[in-house]
Amino acid sequence: MITVATWNVLHRVHAENWYEDVARRWPDEQARIAAVTARVAALTEQVIALQEVSGDQLVSLRAALPERTVHALRYPRLPRPRRIETALTDRDEYLVLLVNGPSEQTAAESFASDPGKGLLAAQAFGITVVATHVTGDDRRGGQLARLAELGTDLKGTVLLGDFNIARDHVAAGLGPDFTVPNFAPGSPPTRPRTSGAKSQYIDLVVGCGVPVSDPTVEDVAGLSDHNLVRATIDI
């Protein structure tokens, strides 16, 4: 048995562009970066997937977590400030996998339909763990098909990420080989919203060939626009 976690930590440029409350709550981005790193460092999960990691955040994580293997995919798309000059020194955006123990990276690719989304895979603990961030529009179909192809080719695969759509749609897009467990009734949303009809449960842990149990949501108290998700993998 191992435990895993996934968290979209919110890239600062996206927060600045889209008026996220996080940017107002944390005017000092370096302070928020330090707080995100501290939260991640306190996690006991053997595998942690992170989405929307800035270059500044990645430097902080590497410095604070020397005992963990850090796999990172830098997207070809560079987030572009639209309203104000960004607080970041390095505005590159990364998909990250942190592994506590031996691991071997096996895939790292941005999706052909979106250079700012993608997947990052590694072999660890006898299975394949995949960090992913899926686009929130009709492009998701091809992206889910790519993730399904990767999972069913390898078997024993766990997908960890921000799927930008409710679990039923993710399950349908991935196919019957994949299991997307439900959160317990009354769980906090993974992506809290105050308006709109979009699902608030879009950050998921998905299994293919391995059981996933006890998915739980941890409230991060406004440190990001997404909450953190944990789960247990029975291997």
Going by C-beta distance under 8 Å and a sequence separation of 6 or more, which residues neighbour residue 214?
Answer: 230, 231, 232
Mean pLDDT (whole number) for 104-114: 97
pLDDT classification of 110: cutoffs 50, 70, 90: very high
* SS3 state of residue 104: strand
pLDDT of residue 195: 78
H helix or E strand, kind and range, residue 30: helix 29-41
Antiparallel, parallel or unpaired: β 203-208 and 93-99: unpaired
The answer on pLDDT for 175 being more than 80 is: yes
Q: What are phi and psi of 79, to 5 degrees?
A: -55, 130
Domains, the chain, with CATH or none: 2-233 (3.60.10.10)
CA distance 105 to 97: 9
pLDDT band at 174 (very low <50, low <70, confident <90, very high): very high
Stronger pLDDT, 196 or 187, i.e. the higher one: 187
Dump pLDDT digits (tens) for 120-169.
999 999 999 999 999 999 999 999 999 999 877 677 999 999 999 999 99
Buried b (16+ CB within 10 A) or exposed e, 84-119: eebbbeebbbbbbbbbbeebebbebebbeebebbbb
Question: Residues 176-193: what's their mean pLDDT?
Answer: 95
Q: What integer pLDDT is reported at residue 91 of this predicted model?
A: 96
Judged against a pLDDT cut of 90, whether residue 87 lies above it is answered with: no
- Residue 221 is predicted with a pLDDT of 94
Amino acid (one-letter) located at 147: L
Q: Which amino acid is at 159?
A: L
Indicate if the pLDDT at residue 197 is higher than 90. no
Give residue-wise pLDDT tens across range 16-49: 998 789 999 999 999 999 999 999 999 999 999 9
Angle at 71 between CA 204 and CA 173, to 5 degrees: 30
Q: What is d(CA 226, CA 210) in angstroms, rounded to the nearest whole number? A: 26
Model confidence at 14, in pLDDT bands (50, 70, 90)?
very high
pLDDT at 20: 83
Phi/psi at 96 (nearest 5 deg)? Answer: -130, 140
Percent of the chain with pLDDT over 90: 91
111 and 143 in contact (C-beta within 8 Å)?
A: yes
